[in-house]
Structure 1
Amino acid sequence: MKKAIVFDNSGTLLERYRVIKDVSTGELFTDVNSLHLIDSMDSLALVVLQFNTNCLLNLDSNTLISDVIKQHNIDFDVSFTSCETTKEEVTDILENENQATISDITDGFTILKEKIPKMELCNGPAVIIDINKNKIVYTITSAGKLFSEVIDTIKILQSRGIEIYIASGDRKGAINKLAEILNVNKKHAFGTVSPKGKCKVVRCLKDRGYKVMMVGDGLNDVLAFNNADVSVLTVEQEEEVSPKLINKTDYVIQKISEVISIDF
């Protein structure tokens, strides 16, 4: 039987570093899980902006994020939400928001550069909007570096004839770059997909006759876990894991290389 493994990105393939800023108070957080934050409330949505944050350094830091989105026609996708919403509703909020500025994104740069000087992977901005309040409540700046055994693990799996896919809520450009680094077919790399989108990737592979393993670390992987033949939770990121996730997985691994030993 044909086999495929679908990997999440941040926290699974990439050691993730994230800075979250509370727009109303100006407080910066490095130890808050954005998905848990959204899951704890009933009107929040994680919106990934499809551009590289480095371009913001050339703009006035006091410029509204909403103005940048409109002036540069920046696309976006909702990757995780605790409520039902539409792209039209999110567009209206993003284009008319009048509080969050570029500095709310770039203020996290200094912290990230201490951890990852080049900030080459997963470098992109996101915002958390409150659907009920019609505003941006948090900004997120993130970067990452591959866990040490990722490249060798992917090579071994590919040598066994297992097809590798990536399905992540992260920025599309970063996922395409990751696919290139890992020698994964870019047609097998899906960026800024929602939990339903990850589930769709798994289902499509199963419909094509594949036996599918899903490997992830976050709440946005639960639906894909439920539909995969084998689900694997990786805790290499060393963040608190939601009970909702632990109860939905077949295996828990400490390092990504342990995937090699799972027979499916």
Structure 2
Amino acid sequence: MSVGVVFDSAGTLLKTNRAVKNIKSGILLNDSPETTMLTFEDPDRILILLNVSSTEMMKVPPEKNLSEHLKETDVVFGISCGRKIIDAADVGTILFSDPVCRVIDLQEVIRACWQIVSKEAESFAMNSGVIINLRTREIEFTLAAAGYPFPGVKEMISALHQKGVAVYIASGDRTSKLELIADKIGIPRDRIHGVATPVTKARIITSLKGEYDVVVMVGDGINDLSAMRAADVSILTVQQKGERPDVLCKQAGYIIDDIRDVVPIIDKLNADVE
């Protein structure tokens, strides 16, 4: 039996710390709030990843308007998730014209993330972005996320490869960051799908079902729900602490609290077929 396994990244393969700043209230949350859940709370919110260097962003004058800086540098952005289908041009219009959000609003979340994760790991992947609101036409939140592999991830991937299992990553994270992670844990770069929205993840699963007898989706958040529904087998990992909606838990065929438990589940699937 041929098996393909698709993993989400942040919160699934990577222990992830997040920081979010509410632009209107000025409140900074650095206790790793779930950004996809925050996005899905309002149907008009869209989570946007920014292809920027965190190090270089910290050198920009803090009081400068963020939209002005992003427009001047012609930043590349990706639509990570949201409850509505939106045209990239419309996202760009909002992203490059917001009059309120400042560079310091992004610097604060980057700094908060770095201060926590740098104490836990020598190397980690950092992403930053914003949540825009289609209704108000503004940047509502800035955010940053930094993560490093959970214990045993590399060994788990190796064990799957030894069993002949094809391993993929489909994640809302930037492709360049995912490729660095893939190199570290042993997943071929041509099996990486970055800036994957929930709809895109489901399409990837559906496409892979034409190549493998069984396709498994492993994720940890609401943005993985559509892919789980499309998969032959769905695994929800709760190793990253946080609340999960009931609909996600009910959809999961398996719920695990250690990513290494994926291996015995695959063994069981093979045994059931035999």
Pairwise same-fold verdict (TM > 0.5):
yes
Kept in 1, the 8 Å contact 2:205–2:227? The answer is yes
1:58 is matched with 59
Shift of 1:194: 0.3
The one-letter code matched in structure 1 to 2:79 is V
The one-letter code matched in structure 1 to 2:198 is P
2:176 is matched with 173
1: distance between equivalents of 2:176 and 2:215? 25
2: distance between equivalents of 1:65 and 1:205? 39
2:234 is matched with 231
1:124 is matched with 127
| Alignment gaps of 5+ in structure 1 | none
Shift of 1:198: 0.8
The one-letter code matched in structure 2 to 1:6 is V
Q: Over aligned residues, Cα RMSD in angstroms? A: 1.4
2:272 is matched with none
The one-letter code matched in structure 2 to 1:201 is I
1:30 is matched with 30
Q: 1:154 aligns with which of 131, 154, 157?
A: 157
1: distance between equivalents of 2:98 and 2:148? 32
Please, which moves more after superposition, 189-198 or 50-59? Answer: 50-59
Shift of 1:68: 2.2
Kept in 2, the 8 Å contact 1:105–1:140? The answer is yes
1:137 is matched with 140
1:6 is matched with 6
2:187 is matched with 184
| Alignment gaps of 5+ in structure 2 | 270-274
2: distance between equivalents of 1:104 and 1:29? 12
Kept in 2, the 8 Å contact 1:11–1:217? The answer is yes
The one-letter code matched in structure 2 to 1:45 is I
The one-letter code matched in structure 2 to 1:260 is V
1: distance between equivalents of 2:255 and 2:41? 24
Kept in 2, the 8 Å contact 1:216–1:233? The answer is yes
1:251 is matched with 254
Kept in 2, the 8 Å contact 1:121–1:174? The answer is no
Kept in 1, the 8 Å contact 2:154–2:186? The answer is no
1: distance between equivalents of 2:213 and 2:204? 11
Moved over 4 A (4+): none
The Cα offsets for residues 144-180 of structure 1, whole Å up to 9 and x where unpaired, read as 1111111111111111111110000112211111111
Q: 2:244 aligns with which of 217, 241, 252?
A: 241
The one-letter code matched in structure 1 to 2:17 is Y
Structure 2 SS opposite 1:140: strand
Kept in 2, the 8 Å contact 1:119–1:143? The answer is no
Please, which moves more after superposition, 224-233 or 71-80? Answer: 71-80
Kept in 1, the 8 Å contact 2:110–2:128? The answer is no
Please, which moves more after superposition, 117-126 or 163-172? Answer: 117-126
